[in-house]
Amino acid sequence: MGILVIGQDDPPTRQLQGALAADHLLAFPALAAPGDSWAWGWRDDLERWERQAAELGRFDSVVVCCWDAVEVAVQFVDLSPRAWLEHLERRLALWMIAAKVGVGRCADGGSLVMVVERPAALDTLGRSALVGAAEGVLSLSRCMAASEGRRGVRVNAVATELWTVPDELLGPAPALTSFPGRVDAEVAGAVRMLLSDDAVGVTGSVSTPDGGRAA
Amino acid sequence: MTPDPPSKTDPPSKTILISGASGGVGRGIAVACGEAGWTVWLAARRRPEGDAVAAEVDRAGGTGRFVACDVADADSVQAAVDTVIEESGRLDGLVHNATSGYSSIPRSIGDVDLDEIEDQVAVNLRGLYLLGTAAFEQLRLAGGSVVVLTSEAGFEGKPLLPAYAVAKAAQRGIVRVLAREWGSSGIRVNCVAPLSSSPAMDRYFEDPVNKARVLGRIPLGRLGDPHADIGPAVRFLLSDDARFVTGQTVMIDGGSCPIT
């Protein structure tokens, strides 16, 4: 029981784990690098990880961190096949399998939160792969909310804008000067709220702790 | 500066490439574009069915041409686009309609496996990447338009279609980014979310419970017709009449899933 965090074993995910006082971090597997072809050469790694993760116990709360901290924006027409594989196809596959593991590890009556980087519309130039993958994750959270409600499991999402803030912001400034916020404050707060009993009637929702940037 | 007023009619020389056009919704779009007198390239894997749709486009008043294309294969997509340019000399519109064969197979998240995920991603998303990058320069030269066939599954939670819903939502996200990136090149990019009769829907409706559930939530009480309902909406987005429309998702679903 307690809180399980599933995600990359990196500082931001560790920071979120700490802020939530989560008991356990289930780290994503190290996947073989994409090859020169379109073949998913890393399928075996992912399937092995999924089988191992299924042996974990159940948790009251599960957080699946779908963060891909790519700092360089690249226009769609300039994306290499390798970058497309890495930042869209591989990410979506990994995050879908992680979500599947998360649902399986979430106890009846529990709560699951998917966390993903999804910049506001004005900040998406050069982010086609990341935004595509993020919208996929948000859709998946809605699907899981619909399927897991029958056993009392709530599924929600938190959409962050932490690493994709452009050097120069278009349009009006975010409402809060704290934008883009911090993992251990704004992001952890939204996740904590959705995991808590205060959100007992909330499922299938997306919380956007971005200081009003996407408003 | 005020732009030129829209022309009364589109140029008859408009050339369109449609993926997955050998049947279903793709066929309806192709015939609707044929009715405008356009040249319609039917990109699909199956030649006999593609040729049959090409003949329908001809009968509708356009010029139908088949080109073999597997949208998940980079060489195949490039060859298809090259063929269109060699033979028609231009490309004004691209419609990515091809979808995975898994799209009508209900599975809960616990049963989804990597075979299904890979197929959904390869056809819906890699297909968009390959078609978009291969066609970009020609679309830029023509001031062209891209339409991607997404689904209400990209908006709503579909408990038994999670991989499909993920792929369709991802398409919408990519389209919104492309609209921003390609606007300065004069290329418009939009989505259409149809709720239409199709071979996949026909299979789904074999279960009367499924049929009653779907039809019961549609205010207009029926599925859309690929030719009469879906095709004209896509044709509009491809046409110059939609020259100020980009980054949008148009729901052609009889009111089933209003965007709020």
Could you read off the pLDDT of A18-51 as tens digits, one per residue?
A: 999 998 999 999 888 877 788 888 888 999 999 9
CB distance from A202 to chain B under 8 Å? Answer: no
Confidence band for B166, pLDDT divided at 50, 70 and 90: very high
pLDDT at B4: 64
Q: Which strand ranges, in their side-by-side order, compose the sheet holding B39-44?
A: B63-68, B39-44, B15-19, B93-96, B145-149, B188-194, B249-252
Rounded CA-CA distance B171/B165 in Å is 10
pLDDT tens digits, one per residue of B183-238 = 999 999 999 999 999 877 888 888 899 899 889 999 999 999 999 999 999 999 99
pLDDT tens digits, one per residue of A169-185 = 999 999 999 999 999 99
- Cβ(A132)–Cβ(B174) below 8 Å: yes
Whether A146 is in a domain gets the answer yes
Q: Which are the contacts of B50, defined by CB distance < 8 A and separation ≥ 6?
A: B21, B22, B42, B44, B66, B67, B68
Whether B10 is in a domain gets the answer no
User: How many angstroms from the chain centroid is the CA of residue B240?
Assistant: 18
pLDDT tens digits, one per residue of A77-92 = 999 999 999 999 999 9
- Cβ(B21)–Cβ(B27) below 8 Å: yes
Whether B258 is in a domain gets the answer no
Average pLDDT score, chain A? 94
CB distance from B72 to chain A under 8 Å? Answer: yes
Report the predicted TM-score, pTM, of the whole model to 2 decimal places. Answer: 0.95
Give how many domains chain A has, as a whole number: 1
Q: Where are the alpha helices (DSSP H) in chain A?
A: 11-20, 43-53, 81-84, 90-105, 128-148, 188-195
Give how many domains chain B has, as a whole number: 1
Residues of B in contact with A136 (CB under 8 A): 166-167, 169-170, 173
Rounded CA-CA distance B18/B34 in Å is 12
Place of tokens 């297909």: B127
Whether A37 is in a domain gets the answer yes
Q: Name the residue in chain A with its Cα closest to that of B125.
A: A89
Question: Would you put residue A27 in left (φ > 0), alpha (ψ -120 to 50) or beta?
Answer: beta
pLDDT at B95: 98
User: How many angstroms from the chain centroid is the CA of residue B104?
Assistant: 17
Helix (H, G, I), strand (E, B) or coil at B90: coil
Whether B58 is in a domain gets the answer yes
CB distance from A133 to chain B under 8 Å? Answer: yes
Whether B244 is in a domain gets the answer yes
pLDDT at A203: 98
Nearest Cα to Cα of residue B17 among B60, B61, B57: B57
Contact B126 A79 (CB under 8 A): no
CB distance from B162 to chain A under 8 Å? Answer: yes
pLDDT tens digits, one per residue of A102-151 = 999 999 999 999 999 999 999 999 999 999 999 999 999 999 999 999 99
Distance from A3 to chain B by nearest Cα, in Å?
21
Whether A212 is in a domain gets the answer no
Whether B9 is in a domain gets the answer no
Whether A63 is in a domain gets the answer yes
CATH of the domain at A132: 3.40.50.720
B164 is a catalytic site residue: yes
pLDDT tens digits, one per residue of B103-141 = 878 899 999 999 999 999 999 999 999 999 999 999 999
Confidence band for B5, pLDDT divided at 50, 70 and 90: low
CB distance from B189 to chain A under 8 Å? Answer: no
Whether A185 is in a domain gets the answer yes
CATH of the domain at B192: 3.40.50.720
Helices (H) and strands (E) in chain A, counts: 6, 6
Burial class (CB within 10 angstroms; exposed 0-12, middle 13-18, buried 19+) of A163? middle
Whether B259 is in a domain gets the answer no
Whether B82 is in a domain gets the answer yes
Count Cα neighbours of A211 within 13 Å in the Cβ-side half-sphere. Answer: 17
Q: Name the residue in chain A with its Cα closest to that of B107.
A: A147
Contact A92 B117 (CB under 8 A): yes
Report the residue from A84, A100, A143 with minimal CB separation from B157: A143
pLDDT at B188: 98
Query: B72: how many CB neighbours lie within 10 A of its CB?
Result: 20
Whether A213 is in a domain gets the answer no
Q: Which are the contacts of A132, defined by CB distance < 8 A and separation ≥ 6?
A: A88, B125, B170, B171, B173, B174, B177
Residues of B in contact with A146 (CB under 8 A): 157-159
Burial class (CB within 10 angstroms; exposed 0-12, middle 13-18, buried 19+) of A201? exposed
pLDDT tens digits, one per residue of B58-73 = 999 999 999 999 999 9
Whether A170 is in a domain gets the answer yes
Whether B2 is in a domain gets the answer no
pLDDT at B7: 54
pLDDT at A200 over 60: yes
* Domain limits for position A21: 3-207
* Domain limits for position B207: 15-252
Whether A214 is in a domain gets the answer no
pLDDT at B1: 59
Q: Which are the contacts of A149, defined by CB distance < 8 A and separation ≥ 6?
A: A203
pLDDT tens digits, one per residue of A185-197 = 999 999 999 999 9
